[in-house]
Chains A and B, each alone.
Chain A
Amino acid sequence: MARLKTAFASTFICALLVAACGGTTTPPTGTGVAATSGAPKADIKIGLATSKSGAANFYNPQQSNGALLAVEQINNAGGINGAKLQLIIEDDGSARDQGITAFRKFIEQDKVAAILGPTLSAVAAGAHPVAQQSGVPVIAISNTGLGIVGKCDYGPCDWIFRASLGEQTAVPETVKAATSKLGLKKVVIIYGDGKFELDDLTIFKDAFKANGVTVAKEIAYTAKDVDFAPFVTQAKAEGPDAIVASSLAGPAGKILDEVAKQMPGKRVIGGNGLNSAALLSNANAGLMIVGTAWSRASTDKANTDFISAYKAKFNTEPDQFAAQSHTAMLVLADALKRSGNPTDKAAVKKALEATKDLPTPLGAFSFTADHDVKQPTFVMTAKDGQFTPFQ
């Protein structure tokens, strides 16, 4: 027994050493999809930092798959002026320091042309400044909060672009549509204590004010709450015309159920957190009203092609996060082509800024002067397990 233990211990130490060396001396071990044989030009590397583990791991595999599909399609169609794209995917672990290390690895070791990600806004708050300092273009694919592009807390952020519809745009559109169609006078907001939820709370309050709707009460829940009945009971006491869920999909599902039970006939208005495929299987999903960046029902050719190709490759329906990462990759590839020299980062940045009405699953794609996505908001509800336009 004693010998066994010593053997185990020494194997463990050896394994650690091997792993440590392996991690530093081998070439990048990302998910390369490019064919390396016979390529006339060097591959163009793109980094994707995404939450494959940790609290936000549910955005994957869709977020990775959307980009992988785009890279495959671009390479099959001849790549970037003859050069193949190589996508390197790193897990950001839903943690800020891991996100920063992933970004540094892309920049220092892989020498990527541009970076997509990371998944969470809280991680982006640490990772984006790293790319900004090094002058590497970034396209955010799922950060919807305040301070991602345009005016950022850490100073200039002119290397950062965003392909994900910001809540500043989506929420006011949602509130406008809901107010006019439902004749809202008074609402109650139930909100969580995370960065995303609090950003949403601010934006919702402003939007309701602009539409002349009273916010009768704001009720905070915490990430540790499991039961939402007391919150909805509390909201009901105010006699609101609708409930606003400034939350992620998990709590939103429980709020939907409670509203259905306690306040029959009332609707739930939400932000991007409710754009979740998992939420669609909730029996009360039909109550929600949400602004989305992507409509499955859009009949643009770019969109229908994307949906059928995605289903063929991954044997599952794409969601908004797949559509957004797919779009970001298309936008990036288009800019790399137009830049003339994909290794010249300033040229790529300039080309990104000049993106004009590129056909993508999200619609004709352009950036605003602030590097934010310029696209329509689809105000949706759910029916039969699908997002459908809210009318």
Chain B
Amino acid sequence: MLEQLYNALFVGSVYALFALGFALVFSVLDILNLAHPTTFMLGAFAAYFAMTAVGLPWYVAGVLAFFVCGAFGIALDRIAFAPLRRRSAPGLSAMISSLAVTLIVVRLIELRYGGDFITFPAGAVPSLVLRIGDAVLEGIRLGIVVLSIVLMLGLTYVVRRTQLGRDLRALAENPRAARILGVDVDRAISATFFVSSALGGLAGVLLAFAYNTLDSRMGLPLELRAFTVMVVGGMGSLPGAVIGAYILGLGEVASLVYLPTELRDAFAFGLLFLVLIVRPTGLLGHRAADRV
């Protein structure tokens, strides 16, 4: 039982790491960035490239992937979102332009690395395994759990207590007013995309390390889960996203233990549906309903 609790904690951390960046962009810009899974995948491949082609150690590769993905986020904004903002396009268009970027980047990766999953060379990623009786604790998994909590706290601190955070919140409330009040809107948007994508890329690297495998579609399964996590926690709330992620992780593992396994997936979406009907603002959300 304790083992399953630990599993749930890890699964929740994975969802949280992925959902944080996704929620950040949504909370500031009201954009559902469908290229987030792609950024996640790109992080894993950037690290793989750094390790196999350049020969860097795993931790340098991880840091590198963080910055590569941050830069990719800024480029993504310039290519897929900024032109839409200039034309004050409907919010839906952003979903579609990010989808187009996904199509292109996934295919480019497939042309370079093939569509099948690949594995890091043996010993490239250190594995630290602790055995306590029957249970198994792994260094990388514990690291991910700790890191997702640290990142959540750090990001919350930045948003609540720093000048950048104040700019972001002003931007989230009203872009036009923010500009008038002297907020460097373009810089704030770039910062949002840098942080969101760098976190997404880091999540990809860590998961690729934890599972010792990466492939061009590795981010897609997390996309729907990220929606769930955001709704449960409250759209636009970063701590909410993390709490939502742990609730989903726990719920999924609990339904694996207690429900017929075929209906396990129904749990996640049933929960999502229920939250939307009963409390659309989620656990920590405050905005009643979104603009169309």
A and B touching (Cβ–Cβ under 8 A): yes
CB of A254 within 8 A of CB of B107, answer no
| Any B CB within 8 A of the CB of A14 | no
Q: Which residue of A lies closest to B15 (CB)?
A: A226
CB of B257 within 8 A of CB of A224, answer no
| Any A CB within 8 A of the CB of B36 | no
CB of A250 within 8 A of CB of B117, answer yes
| Any A CB within 8 A of the CB of B169 | no
Residues of A within 8 Å of B211, CB to CB, are 226, 253-254, 257
| Any A CB within 8 A of the CB of B116 | yes
Q: Which of A225, A230, A231, A278 contacts B117 (CB 8 A)?
A: A278
Minimal beta-carbon separation of B88 from chain A (angstroms): 16
Minimal beta-carbon separation of A236 from chain B (angstroms): 8
CB of B14 within 8 A of CB of A226, answer yes
CB of B215 within 8 A of CB of A224, answer no
Cα of A60 to Cα of B211 in the assembled complex, Å: 24
Question: What are 15 A-to-B residue pairs whose CB atoms are below 8 Å?
Answer: A56-B115, A58-B114, A60-B115, A219-B256, A223-B221, A226-B218, A230-B4, A230-B253, A234-B4, A234-B257, A250-B215, A253-B119, A254-B211, A261-B138, A276-B116
As a 0/1 sequence over residues 266 to 289 of chain A, the CB contacts with chain B under 8 angstroms (1 = contact) are 000000000011100111000000
Given A57-B115, A250-B117, A278-B118; A283-B212 close (CB under 8 Å): yes
Residues of A within 8 Å of B110, CB to CB, are 53, 57
Given A57-B110, A262-B136; A230-B116 close (CB under 8 Å): no
CB of A249 within 8 A of CB of B116, answer yes
Q: Which of B117, B222, B253, B261 contacts A253 (CB 8 A)?
A: B117
Given A254-B211, A261-B129; A58-B116 close (CB under 8 Å): yes
Cα of A58 to Cα of B114 in the assembled complex, Å: 6
CB of B119 within 8 A of CB of A278, answer yes
CB of A224 within 8 A of CB of B225, answer yes
Interface residues of A (CB under 8 A from B): 53, 55-58, 60, 218-227, 229-231, 233-234, 249-250, 253-254, 257, 261-262, 276-278, 281-283
Minimal beta-carbon separation of A141 from chain B (angstroms): 18
Cα of A281 to Cα of B120 in the assembled complex, Å: 9
Q: Which of B3, B213, B256 contacts A250 (CB 8 A)?
A: B213
Q: Which residue of B lies closest to A224 (CB)?
A: B221
Q: Which residue of A lies closest to B265 (CB)?
A: A222
CB of B261 within 8 A of CB of A218, answer yes
| Any A CB within 8 A of the CB of B224 | yes
Q: Which of B4, B114, B213 contacts A233 (CB 8 A)?
A: B4
CB of A58 within 8 A of CB of B115, answer yes
Residues of B within 8 Å of A276, CB to CB, are 116
| Any A CB within 8 A of the CB of B166 | no
Q: Which residue of B lies closest to A226 (CB)?
A: B221
Residues of B within 8 Å of A226, CB to CB, are 11, 14, 207, 211, 218, 221-222
Cα of A155 to Cα of B211 in the assembled complex, Å: 44
Residues of A within 8 Å of B138, CB to CB, are 261
| Any A CB within 8 A of the CB of B10 | yes
Q: Which residue of B lies closest to A283 (CB)?
A: B122
Minimal beta-carbon separation of A252 from chain B (angstroms): 10
| Any A CB within 8 A of the CB of B186 | no
Minimal beta-carbon separation of A145 from chain B (angstroms): 19
Cα of A56 to Cα of B221 in the assembled complex, Å: 16
Per the 8 Å Cβ criterion, residues 13-31 of B in contact with A are 14
In this complex, the member of A53, A218, A224, A229 whose beta carbon has the largest number of chain B beta carbons within 10 angstroms is A229
Cα of A223 to Cα of B4 in the assembled complex, Å: 21
Total number of B residues with any Cβ neighbor in A under 8 Å: 38
Minimal beta-carbon separation of A320 from chain B (angstroms): 13
Q: Which residue of A lies closest to B119 (CB)?
A: A281
As a 0/1 sequence over residues 195 to 232 of chain B, the CB contacts with chain A under 8 angstroms (1 = contact) are 00000000000010001110101100110110000000
CB of B115 within 8 A of CB of A227, answer no
In this complex, the member of B14, B114, B117 whose beta carbon has the largest number of chain A beta carbons within 10 angstroms is B117
Cα of A253 to Cα of B14 in the assembled complex, Å: 18
Per the 8 Å Cβ criterion, residues 220-279 of B in contact with A are 221-222, 224-225, 252-253, 256-257, 261-262, 264-265
CB of B10 within 8 A of CB of A229, answer yes
Q: Which residue of B lies closest to A280 (CB)?
A: B119
In this complex, the member of A224, A226, A257, A261 whose beta carbon has the largest number of chain B beta carbons within 10 angstroms is A226
Residues of A within 8 Å of B3, CB to CB, are 233
CB of A257 within 8 A of CB of B212, answer yes
Q: Which of B4, B117, B264 contacts A249 (CB 8 A)?
A: B117
Residues of A within 8 Å of B212, CB to CB, are 257, 282-283
Residues of A within 8 Å of B117, CB to CB, are 58, 249-250, 253, 278
Minimal beta-carbon separation of B211 from chain A (angstroms): 6
CB of A229 within 8 A of CB of B213, answer no
| Any A CB within 8 A of the CB of B8 | yes
| Any A CB within 8 A of the CB of B156 | no
Cα of A209 to Cα of B114 in the assembled complex, Å: 39
CB of A233 within 8 A of CB of B207, answer no
| Any A CB within 8 A of the CB of B7 | yes
Cα of A227 to Cα of B17 in the assembled complex, Å: 14
CB of B122 within 8 A of CB of A220, answer no
Residues of B within 8 Å of A225, CB to CB, are 221
Given A230-B4, A250-B215, A254-B213; A281-B264 close (CB under 8 Å): no
Residues of B within 8 Å of A253, CB to CB, are 117, 119, 211, 213
Q: Which residue of A lies closest to B3 (CB)?
A: A233
Q: Which 8 A-B pairs have the closest CB atoms?
A: A58-B116, A57-B115, A58-B115, A224-B221, A220-B261, A281-B119, A278-B116, A230-B7
Other 16 A-B pairs with CB < 8 A, given A224-B225, A229-B7, A249-B117: A57-B110, A57-B115, A58-B117, A60-B115, A219-B256, A226-B211, A226-B221, A227-B7, A227-B11, A229-B10, A231-B256, A233-B4, A250-B117, A250-B213, A261-B136, A278-B116
Cα of A53 to Cα of B215 in the assembled complex, Å: 14
